Amino acid sequence: MPATSFPRIALLIAVIFLVSPTPATAEDPPLPWGNGPHDPPPPPEVDAGSTSPDRVVYSNDFETTSGREWSPAFTDTTPNGRQRFLGQFGNDSVVLTLTGLPAHQSVLVTFDLYILRTWDGDCGDTWQLGLVDGRTLFRTTFSNMHEFGHRQAYPGVSPGGSHPARTGAHERNTLGYRHGGKARDSVYKLAFTFEHADRDLRLNFKGLGLQDLADESWGLDNVRVIVRNEPREMPPEPERALVFDGVDDCVTIQNSPSLDLKGSLTLEARVKVDGDEDGQIIWRGDTRAEHDPYELHVHEGHMEFRVDTVFRGRIRLCTVRSRKPVDGKWHWWAGVCDRTVGMLYLYRDGVLEAATEFVGEITYDTSEMWNMIGAVDHGTSQNLKGSIREVRIWNDARSAAEIRSHLTGNLTGKQQGLVAWWRLDHTVGQIE
């Protein structure tokens, strides 16, 4: 097989066209993830009256006041006298409440996080950001105790990440905090993007497992919130697609080393689910239960992206699930596994639908596994009832911007990281 080839679909069973077939507009390409949502671009300089899709709705450097939008709202000044910030906090929940937001699809929040004194990450000194509704956006540990060998989860998540103390810190020992005769403070510049459309937003910043404030504390500075209402060009409903009857229709894909992925990856598919409670979109595995390196499927009426890992000697079914059931309409779904930060992301039509952290590695043998579209095993289980127009597999973690850039199908087949692309607009038979 040429080096630029995609794995070939070897068997297609009882699949029909969505509508009367028309000639394909182009041949499939010859047989041949990046910045993730945890690492968004710098926030643009936008005023509230701008027509840009990005609007700054909140900004505070705490030099004058914190405002009633914060609870608690007390501030402090660093020992060097140069910065006034929100804090200090210990095992506290600090809530930012913003109301009456303009129409938006997602939110970008950026801030400086001050990690003060003797945080020793791997001993349980934890910090997290979430929403008051219970959704956790990021959970990690930090350490200022490098000389004692204490490691931290950041820039990964906890549990799972393990990095040297102060990895990723923008500043070290610049604020003037000391403990035991030594300077101990770090500043991290953090940014998070997440799906959100409500008019009210309540963010929850939280410390966990810390000792008293004189020993371990934290604070916030330069907090900025940007709402995004980026217009998305969606492709028209397809004239042709493969219809799966939910009984025995499936596509079998020959085993290929390019599909044997154990690191970061992205699965994409354009799908219309016809009232199916359980059905596969794209799957890799064998006949062993709970040994599936990756799959995008419908389960209990919700779209799920799942990666089966091994953690502390046991199989973990790491799953991110759509918040709402599938609705019987055409949608572009993407599941992203970013192993650099230990996160799974699920996107619908280029907008983040859900995210969750995961742990473990794929240590079981996957070399003889195969891939299926529309079912698992040998087409005898989890048969999809619905239609699929396109499936793509990438060997990296695609960002939201990268996913949106190809929603309309403007691929050449030569994009870096693209290891499989099936348009699924063919007749019954072998598909290349």
| Domain at 418, CATH number | 2.60.120.200
Tell whether 19 and 68 lie within a shared domain. Answer: no
> Does the structure show a pLDDT above 80 at 217?
yes
Mean pLDDT of the chain: 84
Through-space distance between the first and last CA atoms of the chain, rounded to whole angstroms: 12
* Cα separation, 205 vs 20, whole angstroms: 55
Tell whether 31 and 60 lie within a shared domain. Answer: no
| Mean pLDDT, residues 320-337 | 92
pLDDT bucket at 8, cuts 50 / 70 / 90: low
Higher pLDDT, 220 or 240: 220
The total domain count for the chain is 2
C-beta separation of 35 from 82 below 8 A: no
| In the block, residue with structure tokens 């959704």 | 135
* Cα separation, 155 vs 140, whole angstroms: 8
Instruction: For residue 432, tell me if it sits in a domain.
Output: no
Flag whether the pTM goes above 0.75.
no
Tell whether 399 and 340 lie within a shared domain. Answer: yes
Instruction: For residue 430, tell me if it sits in a domain.
Output: no
End-of-domain residue from the set 200, 228, 256: 228
Structure tokens at 318: 């790491």
Neighbours of 306 (CB within 10 A): 22
| pLDDT tens string 113-141 | 999 999 998 888 999 999 998 788 889 99
What does the pLDDT read at residue 182?
Answer: 93
Instruction: For residue 198, tell me if it sits in a domain.
Output: yes
Using only C-alpha atoms, the chain has a radius of gyration, in whole angstroms, of: 24
| pLDDT tens string 223-241 | 999 998 866 667 778 888 9
Instruction: For residue 317, tell me if it sits in a domain.
Output: yes
Tell whether 200 and 282 lie within a shared domain. Answer: no
Q: What is the maximal distance between C-alpha atoms in the chain?
A: 79
Amino acid at 257: P
> Does the structure show a pLDDT above 70 at 214?
yes
End-of-domain residue from the set 213, 228, 243: 228
Ramachandran area for residue 69 (φ above 0: left; ψ -120 to 50: alpha; else beta):
alpha
Tell whether 69 and 205 lie within a shared domain. Answer: yes
Instruction: For residue 44, tell me if it sits in a domain.
Output: no
Tell whether 27 and 81 lie within a shared domain. Answer: no
Tell whether 249 and 318 lie within a shared domain. Answer: yes
Instruction: For residue 175, tell me if it sits in a domain.
Output: yes
Tell whether 26 and 126 lie within a shared domain. Answer: no
pLDDT bucket at 9, cuts 50 / 70 / 90: low
Tell whether 201 and 292 lie within a shared domain. Answer: no
* Sign for the pseudo-dihedral over CA of 45, 48, 51, 52: positive
Structure tokens at 236: 């028209």
C-beta separation of 430 from 8 below 8 A: yes
* Cα separation, 228 vs 106, whole angstroms: 5
CA 354, 360, 361 angle in degrees (round to 5)? 110
C-beta separation of 299 from 278 below 8 A: yes
Identify the domain containing residue 258 by its residue range: 9-37+233-422
What does the pLDDT read at residue 232?
Answer: 64
Structure tokens at 243: 């219809």
What does the pLDDT read at residue 277?
Answer: 82
Residue 401 DSSP label: H
pLDDT bucket at 146, cuts 50 / 70 / 90: confident
Tell whether 164 and 308 lie within a shared domain. Answer: no
C-beta separation of 384 from 242 below 8 A: no
Tell whether 161 and 202 lie within a shared domain. Answer: yes
> Does the structure show a pLDDT above 50 at 431?
no
Tell whether 210 and 261 lie within a shared domain. Answer: no
Question: What CATH code is carried by the domain that includes residue 65?
Answer: 2.60.120
Contacts of 182 (CB under 8 A, 6+ apart): none
* Cα separation, 207 vs 218, whole angstroms: 8
Containing H/E element for 201?
A: strand 201-208
| In the block, residue with structure tokens 């009210």 | 200
Instruction: For residue 42, tell me if it sits in a domain.
Output: no
Helix (H, G, I), strand (E, B) or coil at 402: helix
End-of-domain residue from the set 169, 204, 228: 228
